Amino acid sequence: MEKATKLLFAIAAVLLLTGLALAFLVAPQIVIQKDGKDVSIFSQKIFYFHAPIAETSLVAFVIGAIFGALFLARKERKYDFLSFASVELGFVFGALVMWTGDIWTRSEWGTWWEWEPRLTTYLILMLLYSGYFVLRSAVSEESSKARLSAAYSVIAAVTVPFTFFAIRLIPSVHPIVFDSSGAKMEHSMLAAFLVSMFGMTVLYVAFLLLRYQTLLAGEEVDYLKNKLGG
């Protein structure tokens, strides 16, 4: 691992641990009135990592599409690698979104799944992106693989704004924390969220660099093997 990547991982770790500490030690616990009694919503603490991971996954898919478009325009191999790495990261973060979201849904709504706009559109997005990996593994010729998967990453990214705006356009039980009037939370909660969000973004960049280095090294190994074999 290169020094810059190591540094980014260290910064991300510090930020995420700070976010975690702020979420559990500083941010107040939400209390609601239920049947005349005060009930604390402890599972709301999941939000401090769930939402940043969700935002990062959507950003990763959009960046994957941007690099995909750059590859289609310039035909440079590095853009294919960066697009693939970003989509893969979006998928890993997306799996974590599903995991944390389902746990929150179970704890708050009493069910593992609800066919409401955000969950449904996110599931569609994940299924669509799983097709990206099927496509990539199905095509063996390198230039066709790069061209087709770049085009796919651009088309699949259309689902990202749809997923993001789903709960703002269609009535939904999914909480909306940010709207046109700003953040619907206290300052200490917002601070915990923003630190976690920034940490998750730095982590994404670190992962992207690490994965990109791996793909470059793999290509170099293949090149030398072919040259030695020939």
Q: How far is the CB of 228 from other proteins (least distance, A)?
A: 6
User: With binding defined as CB under 8 A, does residue 137 bind other proteins?
Assistant: no
Q: What does the alpha-carbon distance between residue 186 and residue 75 come to, in Å, rounded to a whole number?
A: 48
Q: How far is the CB of 108 from other proteins (least distance, A)?
A: 7
Q: How far is the CB of 221 from other proteins (least distance, A)?
A: 5
Q: What does the alpha-carbon distance between residue 176 and residue 119 come to, in Å, rounded to a whole number?
A: 13
CB atoms near residue 132 (< 10 Å): 24
Q: How far is the CB of 181 from other proteins (least distance, A)?
A: 28
DSSP symbol at 170: S
Helix segments in the chain, DSSP class H? 3-21, 47-74, 77-109, 117-138, 142-156, 159-169, 187-229
- Nearer CB in complex with other proteins: 167/206: 206
Q: What does the alpha-carbon distance between residue 75 and residue 201 come to, in Å, rounded to a whole number?
A: 27
Q: Which two tokens stand for residue 61?
A: 């898919």
Q: How far is the CB of 175 from other proteins (least distance, A)?
A: 15
Q: What does the alpha-carbon distance between residue 196 and residue 14 come to, in Å, rounded to a whole number?
A: 10
Among 30, 70, 108, 151, which residue interacts with other proteins (rule: CB under 8 A)? 108
Task: Tally the C-alpha atoms within 13 A of residue 46's C-alpha that lie toward its C-beta.
Answer: 20
- Nearer CB in complex with other proteins: 136/147: 136
The 57-96 site mask, x for binding other proteins (CB under 8 A), equals -----------------------------------x--xx
Q: Is 48 exposed, middle or buried (0-12, 13-18, 19+ CB in 10 A)?
A: buried
Task: Tally the C-alpha atoms within 13 A of residue 195's C-alpha that lie toward its C-beta.
Answer: 20
Among 15, 27, 53, 58, which residue interacts with other proteins (rule: CB under 8 A)? 53
The 12-31 site mask, x for binding other proteins (CB under 8 A), equals --------x-----------
User: With binding defined as CB under 8 A, does residue 225 bind other proteins?
Assistant: yes
- Nearer CB in complex with other proteins: 68/101: 101
CB 114 within 8 A of CB 104: no
**What residues line the site for other proteins (CB under 8 A)?**
1, 9, 20, 39-43, 45-46, 49-50, 53, 92, 95-96, 99-100, 103-104, 106-108, 203, 207, 210-211, 213-214, 217-218, 220-221, 224-225, 227-228
